[in-house]
Amino acid sequence: MSPVVPADCVPPVPAEELWIRSADGLRLHVEIHGQSDAPTVVLAHGWTCSIAFWAPVIRQLADRYRVVAYDQRGHGRSEVPPSRARYSTRALAEDLEAVVVRTVPAGERAVLAGHSMGGMTIMAGADRPAVADRTAAALLVSTGPDRLIAELRVLPDVLRHPGLRRLLHRRVLRSRLPLGPVGPGSRAALKYATMGAGSPAGLVQAAAKVVHACPTAVRAEWAGVLDTLDVTAGLGRLAAPTAVIVGTDDRLTPPVHAHRIVAALPDPQGLLLLPGVGHMAPFERPVEVAAEIHRLAVAHLPAAHLPETHRRTAHSHSHSRSQRSVTA
């Protein structure tokens, strides 16, 4: 019998659904949750995931924010690119731009949060005027700007030859073998590679269901992009106040990336290290991820857009977290 998925990992019913066309005409599936008249948060998920990955964080935010979440191209319900040329960091940036322009009216701003490839999306699109003008602050979670293959920690340290490790990592990540049904073996592999050792079975089951839903070809094509990805130029032009989160046990984008990001940011707002957490921080520690979004919203979104009761609650929660865990 499969482990029971925790209730907060079950995707909530959106208040609104949209289809937005990106610059190349590809259609993106977008959901809007929460309060229609509240400040806006835009969520971008990572490789092999979907809007469903943000479910625990959406549930934390929906009582006080208007939460916009979208499926990256090829993922979830968004259209699959018809050719390899339409998988690129430029496409990621164009998709983010299309979503932000449609869901954040001109003259207003939002907090952008991206996990893994979603964080790379924010870095890639940072210098696009339509994105920059609508970004009050950003949160980069479990992500990296470059050297992704070189810094992977999935394979054991016994494979010490750097060239061999890179070759094996590439073959694993770019494999076109289908993942098949979720079972004990696939759950164990996913937990080892992407989650902390203390993650309960139900949480691993929920993550596996999301990852296994990604089409095999889409997974492989995006792996090819991530292999050579370099968004360091965009990172250096990410002018909005930006905070960073990483789990200490993240094997896919280990903390070395987070430290490099903070050092390169024009306006760093702190690095939150989550002890014992792997790559799936929004699933593993949604309360802390949502609290950082609250902290950024309270500090950088116009106070008039945040109801007084919400402003007091968010300030209290984020202040306690920043005192305990956020380091500059």
Percent of the chain with pLDDT over 90: 80
At residue 197, what are phi and psi to the nearest 5 degrees?
-60, -25
Rounded Cα distance between 241 and 136, Å, is 7
User: What is the pLDDT at residue 103?
Assistant: 98
pLDDT band at 179 (very low <50, low <70, confident <90, very high): confident
Least confident of 100-114, 120-134, 313-327: 313-327
What superfamily would CATH give domain 7-327? Alpha/Beta hydrolase fold, catalytic domain (3.40.50.1820)
User: What is the pLDDT at residue 259?
Assistant: 98
User: What is the pLDDT at residue 289?
Assistant: 98
Are 99 and 49 a contacting pair, CB within 8 Å?
no
DSSP letter assigned to residue 137: E
What is this structure's pTM? Answer: 0.91
Domain extents for the chain?
Answer: 7-327
At residue 271, what are phi and psi to the nearest 5 degrees?
-120, 120
Rounded Cα distance between 151 and 175, Å, is 19
End-to-end CA distance of the chain: 45
Type of residue found at 48: T
Could you tell me which residues are beta bridge partners of residue 28?
Answer: 20
User: What is the pLDDT at residue 302?
Assistant: 79
pLDDT band at 318 (very low <50, low <70, confident <90, very high): very low
User: What is the pLDDT at residue 150?
Assistant: 87
CA dihedral 268, 270, 272, 278 (to 10 degrees): 10
